[in-house]
Amino acid sequence: MTTSEMPTGPLSGVRIVDLTSMISGPVATMLLADQGADVIKVESLSGDLVRGAGPNRAGITSTFISSNRSKRAIAVDLKTPAGVEVLRKLIKTADVLVQNFRPGTIERMGFGEGTVRELKSDIIYVSISGFGEKGPFSHQRVYDPVIQALSGLASIQADGETGRPKMIRTIIPDKTTALTAAQAITAALFSRERTGEGQHIKLAMLDTMVSYLWPEGMSGFTLVGKEVKSARAQLSPDLIFATQDGYITAGAMSNIEWQGMCTALGHLEWLEDERFLTTNDRAVNVTARLTMTGDVLATNTSAYWLERLDANGVPCAPVLSREEVITHPQIVANDLIHESDHPIAGRIRQPRPAALFDKTPSAIQRPAPGLGEHNAELLTELGYSVAQIQGLSDDGVIVGMPDPE
């Protein structure tokens, strides 16, 4: 990679070897790649399972595109001595290695933390697992719904009438783990700048989600001896209100917001209701308060209520469909959704990186790679000759690369 091709952003110059698959690891490294890190996705000869799972065009799925952009990719058989040597050489050039195999797998492959540290003493070594490295679940395979169930998230989402647990229809534990991993990696890189020492980061999806839920989802269990029963916590209505022509959300936490809500809804007498005098009163009597609010909001249109609520300083918004999100005026004003041409999938649509850096801007550095797309490029950087690269291809150690020139 020439200097002109170096990624831009706050992490430019950092190299990450990405041995992860599925969602949590790939999204974590993608966030860092968007911020300028040179992320090298190392795949088996069959590729990441997500390449073939879900809606696709020309054999590459939308989920893979949106979890692996800004990276380079190499596909290598790590069951062969030659493939192992490729990865060993790659690790020697890296600042970070990230893997999300089940505990014990990476050690059997010959790339446990101790072995890798012998190759690069100051490397940041990241192990993402489902449940942790010990305990009764540590050996199990894991997908997002399993963590939703075990962390209490499905219970928190339980149906208010029947109490039946419900899954969130997006992979919150996977993506929350990705964000946590990306933050931990940058913290470890900062620490290394100060101390010169690398370290081993261990991150379990289960730990991530319980910690994520704790501030409010598990708040009833913070005060020891004053726990709130789960059933009581989950039976109150949510903040989705039906109007005459759709749905909106609106909430009033502070006294001034509650005053605005009562004014907008035309019920100033609620301000004198003893059930709603203070923030705590309104929290204790949340079911009555939200039921009364919903009954009023059902009498007119979304546009009518949103205008009145906003005019009185009440946080509110329409509940948008996914189609409506893309063209909403606030999304457009933020210049959030960009279209581009992917060399395999054709025209695609993606959000830009969310964090806007004014001195070292992040960006979508390159489209999500094809399987082994950068084999020749990366192997050349590692010192392999054209003949050696061709030999690796002929021997089936690498796949997916164009013929070296």
pLDDT of residue 4: 46
Determine whether 395 is an active site residue.
no
d(Cα 133, Cα 203) in Å, to the nearest integer? 9
Average pLDDT over residues 215-242: 80
pLDDT at 229: 75
CB 282 within 8 A of CB 258: yes
Residues 6+ apart with CB under 8 A from 290: 236, 237, 239
H-assigned helices in 230-339: 230-234, 255-265, 279-284, 286-297, 302-311, 322-327, 329-333
Least confident among 100-114, 130-144, 166-180, 231-245: 231-245
Per-residue pLDDT band at 320 (split at 50, 70, 90): very high
Say which of 18, 38, 174, 341 is annotated catalytic: 174
Instruction: Classify each residue of 13-48 as buried b or exposed e, where b means 16 or more C-beta atoms within 10 Å of its C-beta.
Output: ebbbbbbbbbbbbbbbbbbbbbbbbbbbbbbbbebb
Q: Which of 77-86, 143-152, 212-221 has the lowest mean pLDDT?
A: 212-221
This prediction has a pTM of 0.94
For residue 234, pLDDT beyond 80: no
pLDDT range class, residue 231, cuts 50, 70, 90: low
How does residue 3 score in pLDDT terms, banded at 50, 70 and 90? very low
**Which has the higher per-residue pLDDT, 83 or 238?**
83
| Residues 64, 44: Cα–Cα separation, whole Å | 15
Residue whose C-alpha is closest to residue 25's, from 68, 80, 60, 75:
68
Q: Cβ neighbours of residue 198 under 8 Å, at least 6 residues apart? A: 117, 120, 121, 122, 123, 124, 125, 188, 192
- What percentage of the chain has pLDDT greater than the value 70? 96
Torsion of CA 55, 57, 61, 64, to 10 degrees: -150
pLDDT at residue 236, as a whole number: 55
Q: What is the mean pLDDT of the chain?
A: 94
- β-partners of residue 106 are none
State the maximum Cα–Cα separation within the chain, in Å, rounded to a whole number: 84
Provide mean pLDDT across the span 243-269. Answer: 97
Spatial CA neighbour of 124 closest among 96, 152, 144:
96
Both tokens assigned to 346: 């054709």
For 400, the enclosing helix (H) or strand (E) is none
Q: How many helices (H) and strands (E) does the chain have?
A: 18, 13
Amino acid present at 136: P
Give me the phi and psi of 110, to 5 degrees please.
90, 20
Q: From CA 263, how far away is CA 281, in angstroms rounded?
A: 19
Token pair listed for 228: 């709130």
Cross-strand pairs, 273: none
CA dihedral 97, 101, 105, 110 (to 10 degrees): -20
Q: Which domains are assigned to the chain?
A: 3-213+337-394 (3.40.50.10540), 247-318 (3.30.1540.10)
